[in-house]
């Protein structure tokens, strides 16, 4: 029986041989016991697809196609991985869904939430699972931070979230990368890096949408108008509580940039404790990631130190975070496949992606309007 005939095995079709696709293939290689394989690789150029297959040492059983269409026509393909430039997501994600292929879509998922809604509707109406490629959500560290934040005694009420997602791109990137080409990816650093910061802030806020967002004026664009660096604040209005001492508004701030040295800070301050991560989206080490947790610290007597030291919590991971993401995705796909569609798609993933996209759109609108306040729910 061929792998693709076994209902419990999941064959991936790759649509586009972007740089990140090699990372995807490596992650799949960790999942052979979970019966997840790369079934097909498609590029607009057959030579490029062949070269990719060879360079990534994919087995000879992998189908190699010189078009994206052929990947979607392959009955052995259960799900597609789509690392295409953002502007191509709508077309190919919808086509994949219509061919009943489950969709693992790289971030930023769409040019705007209207396009994303079309993709999600295509997935929904065709009964296929949607998931965006935000890997860190699948790292066990993320669960650990959720545990910490759910402890009223050691963390408490959310006070502030601050996130940075930056790296210093080189000359080659600024000249050739798809992320700075408006015809391929209109969102630039906001889409590529801001996606992480906005997603992290929303996750920390329990996916409650902010009331409004406001870009800060440190926006940099390249000559083609693509955002290379920007910052924004997000506000959540809260009902004023009795006594007047409670915070009627919670804020979050973020900064994303192709023009600064590598940083992936996430700082979450609560009323009783705080959590810091320095490498959110891509941990420094692959096998373990750390959290700095400071529960209930006070100044020592005379204010000559702290009575509680920030503690380092290390969270090992059995698999790289992208393999965990693919495993989670394919577990859902497998249930759907085995049950012949009776087992419904997991609603969490198609629900959180548009929230991130709505806030991202709002920040972009604020930037385009000269850093005005944009009410998120009006987008």
Contact set for a second copy, span 35-74 (CB under 8 A): none
Distance (Å, rounded) from C-alpha 220 to C-alpha 223? 10
The answer to whether residue 209 forms part of the interface with a second copy (CB under 8 A) is: no
By beta-carbon proximity to a second copy, the closer residue of 279 and 331 is 279
By beta-carbon proximity to a second copy, the closer residue of 46 and 174 is 174
Q: Least CB distance from residue 33 to a second copy, whole Å?
A: 20
The answer to whether residue 298 forms part of the interface with a second copy (CB under 8 A) is: yes
Q: Least CB distance from residue 117 to a second copy, whole Å?
A: 29
The answer to whether residue 294 forms part of the interface with a second copy (CB under 8 A) is: yes
Q: Least CB distance from residue 306 to a second copy, whole Å?
A: 5
- Using the rule CB under 8 A, which residue among 320, 332, 345, 361 binds a second copy? 320
Peptide bond connecting 357 to the previous residue in cis, omega within 30 degrees of 0: no
Q: Least CB distance from residue 185 to a second copy, whole Å?
A: 17
Which of positions 67-126 make contact with a second copy (CB under 8 A)?
A: none
Distance (Å, rounded) from C-alpha 132 to C-alpha 199? 11
The size of the interface with a second copy (CB under 8 A), counted in residues, is 73
Minimal CA–CA distance to 100: which of 81, 128, 73, 120?
128
**Angle ∠(319,321,325) on CA atoms, nearest 5:** 105
Which of positions 144-173 make contact with a second copy (CB under 8 A)?
A: 156, 159-160, 162, 164, 166-168
Minimal CA–CA distance to 25: which of 38, 10, 39?
38
By beta-carbon proximity to a second copy, the closer residue of 129 and 250 is 250
**Angle ∠(373,375,377) on CA atoms, nearest 5:** 165
Residue 345 is given by DSSP the state: P
Minimal CA–CA distance to 347: which of 132, 140, 129?
129
Which of positions 226-285 make contact with a second copy (CB under 8 A)?
A: 228-229, 231, 233, 235, 243-251, 253, 255, 257, 259-263, 265, 267, 269-274, 276, 278-279, 282-285
Distance (Å, rounded) from C-alpha 197 to C-alpha 136? 11
Burial of 76 (0-12, 13-18, 19+ CB in 10 A): middle
- Using the rule CB under 8 A, which residue among 100, 221, 335, 365 binds a second copy? 221
């Amino acid at each position: 029986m061929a792998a693709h005939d076994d209902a419990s095995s999941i064959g991936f079709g790759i649509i586009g041989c972007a740089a990140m696709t090699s990372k995807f293939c490596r992650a799949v290689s960790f999942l052979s016991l979970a019966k997840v394989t790369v079934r097909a690789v498609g590029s607009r150029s057959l030579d490029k697809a062949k070269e990719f297959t060879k360079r990534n040492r994919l087995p000879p059983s992998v189908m190699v196609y010189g078009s994206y269409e052929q990947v979607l026509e392959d009955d052995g393909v259960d799900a597609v991985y789509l690392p295409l430039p953002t502007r191509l997501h709508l077309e190919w994600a919808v086509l994949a869904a219509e061919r009943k292929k489950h969709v693992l879509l790289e971030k930023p998922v769409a040019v705007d939430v209207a396009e994303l809604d079309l993709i999600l509707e295509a997935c929904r109406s065709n009964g296929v699972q949607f998931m965006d490629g935000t890997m860190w959500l699948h790292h066990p560290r993320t669960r650990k931070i959720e545990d910490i934040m759910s402890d009223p005694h050691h963390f408490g009420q959310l006070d502030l979230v601050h996130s940075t997602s930056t790296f210093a791109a080189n000359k080659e990137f600024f000249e050739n990368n798809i992320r700075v080409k408006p015809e391929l990816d209109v969102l630039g650093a906001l889409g590529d890096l801001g996606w992480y910061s906005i997603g992290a802030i929303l996750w920390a806020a329990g996916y409650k949408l902010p009331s409004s967002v406001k870009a800060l004026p440190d926006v940099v664009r390249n000559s083609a108008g693509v955002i290379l660096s920007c910052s924004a604040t997000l506000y959540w209005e809260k009902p004023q509580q009795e006594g007047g001492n409670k915070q009627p508004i919670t804020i979050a701030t973020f900064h994303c940039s192709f023009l600064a040295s590598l940083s992936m800070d996430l700082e979450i301050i609560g009323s009783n404790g705080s959590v810091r991560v320095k490498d959110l989206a891509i941990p420094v080490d692959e096998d373990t990631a750390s959290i700095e947790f400071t529960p209930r610290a006070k100044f020592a007597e005379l204010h000559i130190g702290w009575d509680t030291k920030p503690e380092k919590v290390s969270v090992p991971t059995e698999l790289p975070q992208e393999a965990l993401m693919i495993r989670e995705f394919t577990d859902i796909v497998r249930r759907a496949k085995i049950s012949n569609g009776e087992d419904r798609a997991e609603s969490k993933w198609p629900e959180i992606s548009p929230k991130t996209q709505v806030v991202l759109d709002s920040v972009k609108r604020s930037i385009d309007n000269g850093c005005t306040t944009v009410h998120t729910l009006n987008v």
